[in-house]
Amino acid sequence: MSNEPNGDQNISALEENKIKAEEAKDAANKLFSAKKYEAAIEKYSEAINLNPNVAVYYSNRSFAYFKTEAFGYAVTDADSAIKLDPSYTKGYYRRAAAKMALCKFEEAQRDFRIVVKKAPTDKDAKAKLLECEKIVKRIKFEEAIEVDSPKKNILDTLEVNSIVVEPSYGGPKFEDGKITKDFIEEMMEYFKNQKKIHRKYAFEIILAVRKIMLETPSLVDITIPQSSKLTVCGDVHGQYYDFINIFKINGVPSETNMYLFNGDFVDRGSFSLEVILTLFAYKWLYPKSLYLTRGNHETDDMNKVYGFEGEVKAKYSESMFDLFSETFSTLPLAHLINRKILVVHGGLFSRDDVTLDDIRNIDRFGKKHLEQGSLMCELLWSDPQIQPGRGPSKRGVGIQFGPDVTENFLKRNNLELLIRSHEVKENGYVIDHNGKCITVFSAPNYCDTIGNKGAIINITPDLKLEYKTFEAVPHPNIRPMAYINQLGSMFM
């Protein structure tokens, strides 16, 4: 007698799975509405496992991935939704949004055109298509201009010495042309009250840091003196009021209270300019006590989409953004603490043989070094994963690396620990890979929506680690990404 279930039982099981899948989808939708995106992803995945033939499940999970900045996974799920139902308009919309987030503007434009064709009365889709077309045209125009007439170095056109500080200016001023601790403290209070320092001082701060960074290697060695501590901070993303709260909690930078800010200083938060000018000012004042790692958001493509370019142009000028752009390209890519702890913004590599000398020798200047597969791209973009080995990036850029990859890299380079940032974490930090890979994120209640804590790591000269977590503090009623273009509503 056969043990196989009969046809009626098969049909009954399928129907039961469909009912359970709908229940999982409904539960996921509630979690999504509550902004519990990771939990929503798990429930959407449950629905897909029960019934893998429903386009909306993939589309909804795509949106949840989008909210967690897993843009690569968001594209994959949108692809699945479209494959299941080529007429499903929302699948194309989801894919267009994720492509935009990855700065793949022409691909996004194609999808928006499909959305508008399928839903001609959708005003939102039309507006986003129009904005996307503007970006594509602008990029092509800029590329054509560069071919016909190479872009001039901003330093060739910038004459800071000729800028006059008007007598009516009542903000902080340099003493004999030099930055001081008093200037920075007055500047921070000025920023807190939503005022701007004079553009002459802003330009001089950026130029001073650019000069320092041009003389800085791609991998910076840091030694913590016996009388000092070093604090590693993760992404602060333009959340100025949370950023200065770190100094309230942990003390302002000084020669003995050292800091390493590990990338993604700007974008998303609408006070990015205040954050970066404060960091640059402290870097100028304490070049051996405050360190800055380049993040994936210290790049033109990200700045054009996520708000920093628009913010600088609104508060100062296009020429100032151009100077920031050139200065970001000079930032180092990694820091080595007491020869034992490597700090990078993103993560590790698609190759097994990378050494510290390889990182030291990266020529970090110019866009071509950010191309997918390059060491620099992977330093800025990669993420850890639970599974051994390597996997495709959930972001669509860089890779994902497992605990064995971390262990092998550390062993090969005689290191004890990898510290990285790049990912929002509920408690501000997470210890992965058998204690060998730590993620720290310092922007609490990220984008005013996630509800996470921020965290910092204090490191003593004998390399003992102390974690501090903190909640978000109030800020003026200016929403995140207030300076981005019409496509911005996608990222909210």
How much is the pLDDT for 434? 97
What class, spelled out in words, does domain 7-146 have in CATH?
mainly alpha
pLDDT band at 1 (very low <50, low <70, confident <90, very high): very low
475 catalytic residue (yes or no): no
Q: What are the phi and psi torsion angles at 139 (to 5°)? A: -65, -45
Question: Tokens 């701007």 identify what position?
Answer: 196
- Residue pLDDT, tens place only, 335-371: 999 999 999 999 999 999 999 999 999 999 866 667 8
Single-letter code of the amino acid located at 86: P
How much is the pLDDT for 2? 45
- Residue pLDDT, tens place only, 431-454: 999 999 999 999 999 999 889 999
Considering only CA atoms, which of 63, 104, 108 is closest in space to residue 372?
Answer: 104
186: left (phi over 0), alpha (psi -120 to 50) or beta: alpha
What class, spelled out in words, does domain 160-491 have in CATH?
alpha beta
The residue ranking higher by pLDDT, 477 or 365, is 477
| Structure tokens belonging to residue 447 | 């984008």
Q: Give the start-to-end residue ranges of the domains of the chain.
A: 7-146, 160-491
Please state, in angstroms and rounded to a whole number, the distance separating the CA atoms of residues 225 and 209.
23
Helix (H, G, I), strand (E, B) or coil at 477: coil
Please state, in angstroms and rounded to a whole number, the distance separating the CA atoms of residues 480 and 474.
13
How much is the pLDDT for 138? 80
At residue 45's C-alpha, the angle toward residues 40 and 51, to 5°, is: 130
CB crowding 241-270: b at 16 or more within 10 Å, else e? bbbbbbbeebeebeeebbbbbbbbbbbbbb
Helix (H, G, I), strand (E, B) or coil at 437: strand
How much is the pLDDT for 173? 94
How much is the pLDDT for 7? 61
At residue 371's C-alpha, the angle toward residues 219 and 275, to 5°, is: 55
- Residue pLDDT, tens place only, 247-267: 999 999 999 999 999 999 999
Please state, in angstroms and rounded to a whole number, the distance separating the CA atoms of residues 124 and 121.
9
Question: What is the signed CA dihedral for 141, 145, 147, 150, rounded to 10 degrees?
Answer: -140
- Angle subtended by helix axes 55-67 and 89-101, to nearest 10: 20
Question: Exposed/middle/buried for 159, CB within 10 Å: 0-12, 13-18, 19+?
Answer: exposed
Q: Are 156 and 182 in contact (CB under 8 A)?
A: no
The neighbour count for residue 287, using CB atoms within 10 Å, is: 15
- Residue pLDDT, tens place only, 171-207: 999 988 889 999 999 999 999 999 999 999 999 999 9
Please state, in angstroms and rounded to a whole number, the distance separating the CA atoms of residues 344 and 262.
7
Q: Residue 279: is its pLDDT beyond 90?
A: yes
Q: Are 337 and 343 in contact (CB under 8 A)?
A: yes
Q: Residue 35: is its pLDDT beyond 90?
A: no
Sheet holding 454-459, edge to edge: 290-292, 257-261, 229-233, 454-459, 465-470
- Residue pLDDT, tens place only, 393-402: 999 999 999 9
State the average pLDDT for the chain.
92
The residue ranking higher by pLDDT, 112 or 158, is 112
- Residue pLDDT, tens place only, 112-135: 999 999 999 998 889 889 888 988
| Annotated catalytic residue, options 198, 237, 297, 345 | 297
Q: How far is CA 214 from CA 14, 58, 217, 332, in A?
A: 64, 46, 8, 9
How much is the pLDDT for 136? 86
Long-range contacts of range 83-87, CB-CB < 8 Å, 24 or more positions apart? 84/53, 84/54, 84/55, 84/58, 85/55, 87/118
Q: How far is CA 475 from CA 193, 244, 274, 308, 456, in A?
A: 10, 11, 13, 18, 20
Question: Tokens 């390597």 identify what position?
Answer: 390
Helix (H, G, I), strand (E, B) or coil at 117: helix
Q: How many CA atoms lie within 13 A of 59 on its CB side?
A: 19
